[in-house]
C-alpha cells in the first residue's frame, strides 16, 4: 500500500483530517492533522473550534508507527503536528472555514493597473479580512492605517483610512495563510446563549 493511503486511512480512521504529508531528506516524515470541519447548518450558530492537542498528536503517532512498521515503510523520524496558527489555506473548504478571519495572501504577479492609483502597482502581499463575494469569488478587505500603539491617544476628529478590497481567484494566488495574530489577554468572554 502507498504511503499516502496508509497515513490517510490511519488518520481518518481515528476521526481526524489529514492536512499534509511531507517527506524530507534525512528520513523525516512529517504528518499534519486537524479536526474535521463541517459548515454550520443554515440559521444556526457555528460550533466552537476544536484544536489539535499534544495528546491527539501522540495518539496518531502511536497508530502510525504500528501501521508503517506493518507496511515496511522506511523513515528515520516521525513527526505529527497541527497546522498551527499560520496554517496554509489550500482548498475552497479552507476558505469557507476561515471566512471572516484575517489572512495573508501573496499573489503570483503584482496587481498592476487594477489598483487604480490607491495601491502600489507592484504590490503582491496583502493582509486583511477574507470575505465571500456575491457570485462565488473571494476578496480580501484591508485598511492601510497603522495600528494604534498602546497608550497612544487618538483624536476623535481623525478620519480613518478607507477600507480597500481586492478580489482574487485561486489561480492568482501563490500562497494564502491565516495571519498569526496572538493575544496575550486570555480568551474572550463567551456571549450568553440566546434561546
> What DSSP state is assigned to residue 43?
T
* Domain ranges, ordered by start, for the chain: 3-40+49-81, 92-146+161-178
Is the pLDDT at 195 greater than 60? The verdict is: no
- Measuring CA to CA, which residue among 8, 3, 30 is closest to residue 18? 8
Q: Which residues contact 172 (CB under 8 A, 6 or more apart)?
A: 107, 108, 109
| Rounded average pLDDT over 139-162 | 81
Alpha-carbon distance of 120 to 6, in angstroms, equals: 47
Residues 29-77 pLDDT 10s? 999 999 888 776 777 766 667 788 999 999 999 999 999 999 988 899 9
CATH architecture of the domain with range 92-146+161-178: Roll (2.30)
What would the pLDDT profile of 1-13 be if each residue is shown by its tens digit?
Answer: 688 899 999 999 9
Q: pTM for this structure? A: 0.73
CA distances from residue 3 to 30, 35, 43, 133 in whole angstroms, order as listed: 12, 21, 41, 38
CA dist., res. 141 & res. 129, Å (int): 5
Examine the pLDDT at 84 and tell me if it is beyond 90: no
- Decide: 144 and 120 in contact? Cβ < 8 Å: no
pLDDT of residue 147: 76
Q: Are strands 173-178 and 164-168 parallel, antiparallel or unpaired?
A: unpaired
Fold of 3-40+49-81: GMP Synthetase; Chain A, domain 3 (3.30.300)
Burial class (CB in 10 A: 0-12, 13-18, 19+), 130: buried
Amino acid at each position: 500500500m502507498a504511503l499516502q493511503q496508509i497515513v490517510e486511512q490511519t488518520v481518518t480512521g481515528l476521526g481526524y483530517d489529514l492536512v499534509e504529508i511531507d517527506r524530507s531528506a534525512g528520513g523525516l516524515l512529517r504528518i499534519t492533522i486537524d479536526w474535521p470541519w463541517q459548515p454550520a447548518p443554515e440559521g444556526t450558530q457555528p460550533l466552537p473550534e476544536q484544536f489539535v492537542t499534544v495528546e491527539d498528536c501522540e495518539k496518531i503517532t502511536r497508530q502510525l508507527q504500528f501501521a508503517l512498521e506493518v507496511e515496511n515503510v522506511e523513515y528515520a523520524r516521525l513527526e505529527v503536528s497541527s497546522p498551527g496558527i499560520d496554517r496554509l489555506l489550500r482548498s475552497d473548504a479552507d476558505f469557507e472555514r476561515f471566512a471572516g478571519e484575517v489572512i495573508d495572501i501573496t499573489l503570483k504577479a503584482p496587481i498592476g493597473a487594477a489598483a487604480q492609483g490607491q495601491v502600489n502597482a507592484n504590490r503582491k502581499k496583502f493582509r486583511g479580512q477574507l470575505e465571500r463575494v456575491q457570485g462565488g469569488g473571494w476578496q480580501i478587505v484591508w485598511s492601510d492605517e497603522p495600528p494604534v500603539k498602546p497608550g497612544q491617544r487618538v483624536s476623535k476628529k481623525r478620519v480613518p483610512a478607507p477600507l480597500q478590497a481586492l478580489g482574487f481567484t485561486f489561480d492568482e494566488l501563490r500562497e494564502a495563510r491565516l495571519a498569526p495574530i496572538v493575544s496575550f489577554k486570555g480568551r474572550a468572554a463567551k456571549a450568553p446563549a440566546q434561546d
